[in-house]
Structure formats: structure tokens, C-alpha cells
Amino acid sequence: MSNLTEPHRRGLIGAQPVSGSAGTDPEVVKSFSVGWLVAPAALWMTVFLIVPFASIVVFSFLGIDPDTRTPYFTLFYYGEFFYNEGFFDEESRRYLTLSIFVRTLGTTIYYTLFVMVLCLLAAYPIAFFLAMQVKSFKFQMALFLLAMVPFWTSYLIRAVAWLPMLGRRGLINTALQSMGIIDKPIEVFLYSEFGYVMALVQLYVVLSVCLILFSMAKLDGGLSGAVVARGASPFQRSREIMGAISLQGVAIGMLFIFLMIMGEFATAVVVYGGKHSTAGTVILNYYATANYSFSAVNAIMLMLAMMVGVIIILRIVDIRKEL
């Protein structure tokens, strides 16, 4: 009954009861305006998100007359993205073959999903070990910081660091030759799909470890003991408790990795030697040749693919519900 008679005031998250005499001054409540609180974030989003995105959309429909140098509205560059000569010609070698740009976007999605799976397979055991097997908090943090060491350097430096590892005279080839396993250097490591995928996993797996570890750290020891008391096996305990607890970290980690690798271009240039094109490298190449309109079209197609991927991930795991 005390809750029915207790005074309420409007807060940032709705009506809240006021305990005692604290917070009863209406002048204190009125002194904070929601508009002033959201203004910095709204200004930041407008300047660094809405305006750049609107500029990309405008450029994607913008053509320049070669004679008068005046801009005009056109859908030509969107057609160039999807059009493939001979697509509907049964006698053409390109019959029902997607354009190179659509195929490049599909290849980017393939590599992204593949690296996401590898990152999950590598990160989950590490996070499980740190959260469940390491009992000392200081030792746990020491190992966690050790895993974070690669993030203390620039992303480009971490990508370039793979060159002395995977090259013909790199560390891996030198070690294999010294052990007598191979007679001559193996060229499959550098400028190959193997090296590209390995570099991406190393660059982004730590992000998954962090998020999954933070999710597992919320595990209540009493809950785990209750499940064991019911006669659950270690596998059942891992599936019922750890699976549910870590699902949030897995989903958020895969979401971040998906967004980062979809826009990836530096690793493809450095580790793959530019022999593999991604959506990011296509945008970079056309931007470098001052073809801003077609570069904008590729950027929009990439953003649409990323939005679809994010929606699918959020459909599989409701992050807001897990939070």
C-alpha cells in the first residue's frame, strides 16, 4: 500500500517513486531538459553520420556533363553496378552471369561469414578458459591483457607484421626448412587465401574474446551449483548455462566482426597483394580515380548488404532481450 501513496516524479526512464524528502524540489527536476541532454549526441550524429551518408546518396545519382561540366541526375552508375553484357543472351559466355561488382560483393560476404565462424571457434575456448578455469582475478586480468597486446598497435602495423611471417623467407618457411619438413619455401602462405583469412582471424578474434568473456563473467556460481545438484552432466551444464549466458557476447562479437570485415580493404591489399578484390577495395580504387559517383554506388550497395546482415543477426539473437 505504501507504493500507492508514495509520490512519483518524471525521470529519464519514466515515472519513478521519490523516497523520503530527496528529489521533491520541482525546480531541480525542471532544471534538466531532455533536449539539452540529447543535443550533443544528435549534433555528432548529424555531422558525422547523416551528412556524410546524404552526400554519398547524392553522389550516387550525380553525373557530370563532359562538355559543360554541369551535374545532372542519372541512374547510369546503378545500371553499371548490376549490368553485365550478355546476361540475357543464351549464346553469350556471360549468359545469366552476375556482374563483376555483384560477384565481388558476394565474395566479400562469403569471406566475412567464413572469418566470423573461425573467430567464434577460436575465441570461445579462450574466453571459456579465462572465465571458468582461471580462478585468480589478477591472473585472469593478466592473461586478458596479454591477449589484448595486439590491439595496442596500429591496425596497419598488425597487417604488415604478417609479411615477415608468411613470406618465402619468413618465419614459418624458415622453421619448416630447418626442421627438414620442406626442401624449398612454400608460396601458399603469402598473397593467398590462406594468408588472407589467417590475418583477418588474428586481427579480429580478440574482439570476440573480450565480448564473450564479459558475458561469461556474469555467470552466477549459485546457478551453476543448482544445475549440478539436479544431476546435470558437464556437457548439459555448459549447454544450458554457458550457452545462454554467453549468447549475448557471441551475438555482439559476431555483429562487430561482420561490420568490420565487410568494409575491410587494407588486409586484402597488404596480405593478399591486391590479387583479391573486396567491396572495400573496389570503393577505394574508384575513389582514387576520382570516379566518385560509381564509388558512392558501391558504398551504398555495401551498406545495404551490411544492413541486411545486421537484421539477420538481430533476428537470430534478440540482443535487447539478452541485455
How does DSSP assign 198-245, residue by residue?
HHHHHHHHHHHHHHHHHHHTT--HHHHHHHHHTT--HHHHIIIIIHHH
Contact yes or no for 284/265 (Cβ under 8 A): yes
Within 8 A by CB and 6+ apart from 301, the residues are 81, 101, 105, 279
Q: How do beta strands 62-64 and 14-17 pair?
A: unpaired
Tell which CATH classification among 3.40.140.10, 3.40.50.11810, 1.10.260.40, 1.10.3720.10 matches the domain 100-322: 1.10.3720.10
Separation between Cα atoms, residue 297 and residue 83, nearest integer Å:
13
**DSSP code of 15?**
E
pLDDT at 174 over 80: yes
The ranges assigned to domains in the chain are 100-322
Q: Quick check: pTM over 0.85?
A: no
Winning range, highest mean pLDDT, from 10-19, 86-95, 239-248: 86-95
The tens digit of pLDDT for each residue in 183-197 reads 887 777 777 888 888
Grid coordinates standing for 188?
601458399
CA–CA separation, 119 and 205 (whole Å): 5
List the single range of 86-90, 190-194, 230-234, 244-248 with lowest mean pLDDT.
230-234
Which grid coordinates are listed for 292?
566518385
